[in-house]
Amino acid sequence: MKKALITGITGQDGSYLAELLLKKNYKVLGMMRRSSIFNTIRIDHLYKSYPKNFDTEYGDLMDETSIYRIINDFRPNEIYNLGAMSHVGVSFKTPKSTLTYNTLSTFNILETIKMIDKKIKFYQASSSEMFGATPPPQNEKSHFLPQSPYGISKVAAFHTTRLYRNSQNLFAANGILFNHESPRRGLNFVTRKVTSNIPKILKKEINEIAFGNIDTRRDWGFSGDYVEAIWKILQQKKPDDYVIATGENYSVKDFIKECFKIVGLDWKNFVTYNNINYLRPSEVQSLKGNATKAIKKLKWKPKVKFKSLCRMMVEADLKEQGLSLNEARKLSKNVKKN
C-alpha cells in the first residue's frame, strides 16, 4: 500500500487529491496547522469514509521540526506540497509572510527528504501566476515575469524544486497549474465570490456584488480534474515540470455574465466596483495555458470546461443555500435591478 503525505489538506485541492488517492487505495496523511476554530469542513467526510486509511496530523510548514517528525514517523512514498498562502490579492498586504511561507516551506520539506530518504517523491504546487506579464499562450518554456509577491514566492519555490532535482538527484516535480475552481473553492476567490453571492441576491439578502478589475482573463479548469494531473506527475519514470490548463480563457466579466444567466438574471444590474478593496497594485492581465506536454506525456485531459464549471458551481451554491435551479429561476423574476 502506497503512502502519501499532503500539506494543505484543509484546502480545496488537498481535499480532492486526498479523495482521489484514497480511491486508489493509498494511505493518506494530511498535515494541517492549528486554527482557533475547526476548519476541516472539506475533509470531514474522509475521516468517516476511510477511518483506517485517512488521518491528519498537526504541523506547520514554517516549523521544520514538525515536518521532520511527520515525515520520519509516517515514511511516505510521495509528498504533495499544496500548503501555501494562496491568495494573490492578499499577498500584496502580507508580502513578507507570503514569501516566507511559500518559499521556505519547499526548502524545509526538500531538506527533510534529503535527510530521511531520498526515494520519497515530491510534488510542488507551482502556479500560472509565475508567468505574470508574459503574454499567452504560456507553456513550460515561457518566461516567468511575476506581478505579485505571491507570484515571486512561487517562482522561488519552483526553482528550489528544480535545484533539488538537479543537484540532489531527488524525484522533485512541479505542476504549473492554471486557475482551477470547484464548489469547494475559497469564498474570496472571484469565481466562488460570484456563485456564493447569487443565491443571496435571489433571496434579497444583498442587492449587489462589488469587484475590482473584471476585464482580466483566466484559464479556468475544475480542481477535480487537476488533481488527476497532479497524481500522474508523480507516477512518471522521471521527474519533470508540466503546465496543466484547459487551453481556453475567459474574462472575469464572462464568468459573471454566464453565472447570472444560468439563474435568469442580467449581471449588469447587480455588479458594482470597489477599487480600494479589490483592485490590485499590479495585475496579471491574461493567462491561457498550453498543456500539450501534459496531454502527450501524462495522457491527461481536462473534462470540465468553462460553461459546465459555471453551472456546477452555481448549482452547488444554490443547493447549499436551500434553493434548486427551478426555484432560483422563479425567484429571479421578482428580483429588481439595482
Q: Per CB under 6 A, does 247 bind ligand GDD?
A: no
Look at residue 193 and give the partner it binds from ligand GDD, ligand NAP, none, a contact being a CB closer than 5 to 8 Å depending on partner kind: ligand GDD
Binding mask 189-208 for ligand GDD (x = CB under 6 A): xx--x---------------
DSSP 175: E
DSSP 8-state code for residue 337: P
**Could you tell me how many residues of this chain bind ligand GDD (CB under 6 A)?**
23
88 binds, among ligand GDD, ligand NAP, none (CB under 5 to 8 A by kind): ligand GDD
Q: Which is nearer to ligand GDD, 77 or 213 (CB)?
A: 213
- Nearest residue to ligand GDD, scored by beta-carbon proximity: 127
Which of the choices ligand GDD, ligand NAP, none does residue 257 contact, using the CB cut-off of 5 to 8 A by kind?
none
Question: By three-state DSSP, how is residue 113 classified?
Answer: helix
Q: Tell me which residues touch ligand NAP (CB under 6 A).
A: 7-14, 33, 35, 39, 60-62, 82-86, 101, 125, 127, 177, 179-180, 186
Left (φ > 0), alpha (ψ -120 to 50) or beta: where does 81 sit? beta
Q: Is 19 a catalytic residue?
A: no
CB 34, CB 203: distance < 8 Å: no
Catalytic residue among 16, 150, 226, 250: 150
Within 61-120, the residues that bind ligand GDD by CB under 6 A are 86, 88-89
Residue from 42, 13, 313, 315 nearest 179 by CA:
13
CA–CA separation, 81 and 190 (whole Å)? 24
269: Cα separation from own chain's centroid = 30
Contact 9, 31 (CB under 8 A): yes
Stretch that binds ligand GDD, among 157-165, 200-208, 221-229, 275-283 (CB under 6 A): 275-283
> Catalytic site residue 150?
yes
Given ligand NAP, ligand GDD, none, residue 60, with its beta carbon under 5 to 8 Å by kind, binds: ligand NAP
What is the nearest approach in angstroms of ligand GDD to the Cβ of residue 138?
Answer: 10
Of the candidates 193, 162, 192, the residue with the CA atom closest to the CA atom of residue 176:
162
Shortest reach from residue 154's CB to ligand GDD, in Å? 7
How many helices and strands, by DSSP H and E, does the chain display?
A: 14, 13
- Among positions 118-147, residues that touch ligand GDD (CB under 6 A) are 127-129
CA neighbor of 316 nearest in space, from 158, 191, 172 = 191
Asked about 242 being catalytic, the answer comes back as no
CB atoms inside a 10 Å sphere around CB 167: 8
Rg (the chain; Cα; Å): 20
Cell 509528498 belongs to which residue? 79
If the CB atoms of residues 187 and 279 are measured against ligand NAP, the closer one turns out to be 187
Point out which residues pair with 272 in neighbouring strands.
Answer: 210
**Strand 217-218, strand 271-273: pairing:** unpaired
Binding site for ligand GDD (CB under 6 A): 86, 88-89, 127-129, 178-179, 188-190, 193, 211-214, 216, 218, 252, 278, 280, 283, 287
Residues marked as catalytic? 127, 129, 150
